[in-house]
Each structure stands twice: as structure tokens, then as C-alpha cells.
Amino acid sequence: MDFKAIAMGFGFALMWASAFTTTRMIVTAAPPLTALVIRFALSAVVALPLAIAMGQNLRLSRAEWRTVIIFGICQNTLYLGLNWIAMQHVEASAAAIIASMMPLIVAFFGWLIYGERLRPAAVVGLVAGAAGVTLIMGVRLQHGLDIPGTILCLLAVVALTVATLAARGAGGSRNMMTIVAMQMAVGALTLAIPAAILEWGRPVQWSGQLVWAFIYTVLAPGIGATWIWFLLVARVGAVRAATFHFLSPIFGVGIAALLLGERFGASDVIGALVVAAGILMVQLARLPTAPAQPSKAAASAWDGRD
């Protein structure tokens, strides 16, 4: 993995983790689904001209459209929809910890459903990740963690897992920004009716913080992080790209404590580090083993010089 891929991974993890803090700012002041519809619509309006300016094709292939639909529904409609509703009652740091479990769930489902063999390091990583989440959530339950909201976050991370697997369909595409724009449009269209039915007439508490948070979440997590994620998957593969999720619990808890003043106790620090270590162990264990290097004799024979 080269320096550019590492920088992309760190940038993605930082933007992705920061989204939980800005989301918390938004949903405590505005109806969550309505805000999401506006966010997706604005993101699509911004991303589509960018795609045209970059010379990308607006006519996508069947595989690209499949990625747009699955990713748009699973990540935007289900994952973000459920998460934004839940975060009216669940702290940003708790939501970030739950969402960071995605690579662990991918590995577990691969073993449970598809019979994929787990290396010993991956098993240890799964156990460590589960232990870290249990530690954090157990302490937070004693401090009033919202149970229904937590359940919604757990359902959301399952949808995020499907969305991440769907991103493989866009690997190597030259139309990444077009794909980002289109899947944002899918999110806006699928959430428009639920938002109108459930949130019609709900007031918005306007403030400078709300405007700033909304602009940031459109540009950084909305467009920037999604685009970087697709590019990273195309560059290093879905498994290596997902390795950077080990930074998410650390970044998520830290940013929420810094900007929102959320609880940042010893259990949060220890739990976040344990979860991060578990994610890293699982992802490193899932990396393919490098093929053996051919001998000089074999190489010479291949070159016709033996």
C-alpha cells in the first residue's frame, strides 16, 4: 500500500468519523429525514457538475447502476436514515462506535453464511472488537444510553455492511463522481416521501452551528468521503480499504468529545482502543497472502535465457 493510499485512508476515516458529530448537531435542531433529503439533493447538485467538469460519462454501465442503486439504498436510505433518526437520542460517539463494527460484521457474516475460513488472528480480533463494544455500551447503559436508538444504530450498521460490499462493483470505474452524484440522488428520492409523511410541519431551530454543520456534512462526509472511498477501493481493494475503519472509533469518540463535550471516560478510551485493535487484526488477517517469489532459475527460464 503506497503513501497516497494511506493518505486517502486516513482522510476517509477522519471525514467519516467526523460525520457523527455534525449529524448530532443537525438532528437536535432539525427533522432528521428532511435534513437528509436536503443533504442528498444538494450533494447530487454539487457532484454532478463536478463529474461533467472532470469529463466523466453520465451514461453508466449496468454494473455501475447496480452499485448506484444498492449503495444508494443501503447506505443513504437505510444506514443514514436509521442513524439520523437514532442520533436524536444517541450520542455521536456511541453511534460512531457501533458503525465502526462494520468490518467485524463483514468478517463474521463471511464465516457464518459463506463458510469463509477465519485465521486465528481474525478470531481474536472479532472477540476483541465485541469485548470493546460491550465495555463501552455497558458503561453507557448505566449513564442512560437510549435502547431503541441503539437498536436502530445496530440495524443501520448491517445496511452499511451491504453497502460496503456493493462498492466492489464500482472498482476501477472512471465515473466515480457520477456514481457519487447518482447514489446521492437515490437517497433523496427514496427518503422524500417518508420525510414528508413523518416530519411535515416540524420546526427547525436555525443557528450558525446548524448551517455550518449542514454545509460540512454535504461537502466532506457526503461527497468527499464517499468519493475517496470508491477511489480507495479501486486502488487497493475493498478488504485493504476497510482496514482504515480501525481509526473510526478513535476519531469518532475524540471528535465528539472535542466539539460536543460528550462523555470521554476511561471506559471509552480503553474500549475504543480495543475495538480499533480488533478491527485492525481482522482486516490484516483477511489480506491475501503474497504469492511466493519465483526462483532466479525459473525467472531465467521464463525469459528464455536459461
Per-residue model confidence as pLDDT tens digits over 105-145: 878 877 877 777 888 888 899 999 989 998 988 888 888 88
Tens digits of residue pLDDT in 153-182: 999 998 888 776 665 555 556 888 898 899
Domain assignment present for residue 81? The answer is yes
Domain assignment present for residue 41? The answer is yes
Q: What is the pLDDT of residue 236?
A: 82
Give the contacts of 136 (CB within 8 A, at least 6 positions apart): 94, 97, 267, 268, 271, 272, 275
Query: Does the pLDDT at position 28 exceed 90?
Result: yes
Q: What is the pLDDT of residue 32?
A: 95
Domain assignment present for residue 278? The answer is yes
The tally of domains found in the chain comes to 1
Quick one: pLDDT band at residue 305, thresholds 50, 70, 90?
very low
Average pLDDT rounded to a whole number, residues 286-292: 59
Domain assignment present for residue 294? The answer is no
In the predicted model, what is the mean pLDDT of the chain? 85
Domain assignment present for residue 306? The answer is no
Tens digits of residue pLDDT in 212-260: 999 999 999 888 988 898 888 888 877 778 788 888 888 999 999 999 9
Identify the domain containing residue 191 by its residue range: 3-287
Domain assignment present for residue 296? The answer is no
Q: What is the pLDDT of residue 306?
A: 37
Average pLDDT rounded to a whole number, residues 195-206: 92
Confirm if 41 and 182 have CB atoms less than 8 A apart.
Answer: no
Report the share of the chain in percent with pLDDT over 90: 44
Domain assignment present for residue 299? The answer is no
Domain assignment present for residue 301? The answer is no
Give the C-alpha separation, 255 to 217, whole Å: 14
Give the contacts of 140 (CB within 8 A, at least 6 positions apart): 91, 94, 263
H or E segment and range at residue 33 = helix 32-53
Give the C-alpha separation, 78 to 2, whole Å: 34
- Ranges of beta strands (E only) in the chain are none
Query: Does the pLDDT at position 293 exceed 50?
Result: no
